[in-house]
Amino acid sequence: MRTLSPIVLAALLPGAAFAEQHTEAKPVDRGPPNAEYEPAFPEQEMAPQLEATEVAIETFAENLERPWGIAPLPDGSYLVTERPGRLRHVSARGEVHEPISGLPEIDAREQGGLLDVTLSPDFGSDRMVYFTYAKPVDGGVATAAARGMLTEDMTALENVEDIFVQGPPSDAPMHYGSRITFDGEGRVFITTGEHFTDEYRKMAQELDNTYGKVVRLNPDGSVPEDNPFVGQDGEDAIWSYGHRNIQGAAIQPATGDYWTIEHGPAGGDELNRPEAGKNYGWPEVSYGIRYDGAPIGTGEPRAEGMEEPVYFWDPVIAPGGMAFYEGDAFEGWEGDLIIASLSPGEVVRLDFDEEGLVVGEEALAGGNGRVRDVEIAEDGTVLFLIDSEAGAILRMSPKS
């Protein structure tokens, strides 16, 4: 397992601080790294393993095909997307109902399909549901976000309309992103991918498209006037750029900050806190390498003018959705970040210090399959989606 060399640590941490860092608990063991890049600061990777939490896992709902996103409803039930193109209502007892009607045409090839789902902040009065999906368009496919009104009996979406369609079209049905997240201030963030291939990935560095970007909009799809590139050459909707494939996003309750997590190549999964107008490096720099072992971009992990991730993984965890923990079920977890991992397939917990640096990591619920999304239930237990043909929602609670 890779560790920072004593020389590097000594340069970064003087005296007693170096001694303490050098003797602390070992990180989670996920095998050998793909690359050999040193972090920019000690807390950027391989945080000490947290004391193990004893958990119990039970099945909450089953008979779901490739579940991708989950959103809680006010009555304790849930909306769940299935990637082949179905939106389901799942009762508070875990009963899976027939598909909700009214969805647009969806392209479910490769990594495409029906993706994330969330509720309007005013759902109690407007009953609006927001979702993302792979949209077939002239010339290919695109990440799209739409909204529609959920009927009182929860069987249909009405008056469905797109609020965002990624441009230009792509002929590669890969790397769509995408999470849709309200910021608490009347704006909505939508994450995208860069469609994977060399032809497209370079577009993550260009401002005339929405590949590899965080997009920020008003709920009706209009562009906020304070977006960083409004009035400049390029796409007004862009919030940040230089991303690869962002499949997790969450608002931190304690601060209101917006966080994302994105897939790296071989190594280099990144946890970021995207800020307006900033460049997060892909594909010029990365803490990972190509799947064939060749370097990415410049072959360097960082460059001037490009933002450092708060944290990265090598080997990867292949991140899905994430949520900040709020609840009473797990003692000491308040404010921790709970992340879905597709590979090796687990629920990851990160602990932060007061400066927002990662100071501890734990891997939980391994061996249950590819974890695509997580949701904190009202009672503080953790629901997580198993992404498979015979998919399910599992519940994680403290072991009594």
Residues known to be catalytic: 175
- Please measure the distance between the N-terminal and C-terminal CA atoms of the chain and give it in whole angstroms: 34
Two tokens at 205? 């560095």
Backbone angles phi, psi at 200, to 5 degrees: -100, -35
42 three-state secondary structure: helix
Whether a cis peptide bond, with omega within 30° of 0, leads into 72 is no
Q: 178, 115 in Cβ contact below 8 A?
A: yes
For 197, residues 6+ apart whose C-beta sits below 8 A from its C-beta are 172, 174
Distance, in Å, from the CA atom of 6 to the CA atom of 2, rounded to the nearest integer, reads: 12
CA distance 12 to 318: 29
Report which of 63, 81, 203 is spatially closest to residue 134, judged by C-alpha positions: 81
Amino acid at 328: D
Which residue do the tokens 């304690």 mark? 254
Structure tokens of 119? 């509720």
Cα separation, 153 vs 215, in Å, equals 32
Taking the C-alpha atoms of residue 128 and residue 379, their distance in angstroms, rounded to an integer, is 25
In this structure, are residues 105 and 139 in contact, taking their beta carbons and an 8 Å threshold?
no
Beta bridge partners of 141: 136, 170
Q: Is the CB of residue 241 less than 8 Å from the CB of residue 284? A: no
The alpha helices in the chain, defined as continuous H runs, are: 6-12, 15-23, 123-126, 198-201
* Number of residues assigned to the chain: 400
As given in the structure block, the two tokens for residue 274 are 């995207």
User: Measured between alpha carbons, how far is 150 from 169 in angstroms, rounded to an integer?
Assistant: 29
Instruction: Name the nearest CA neighbour of 113 among 158, 69, 50.
Output: 69
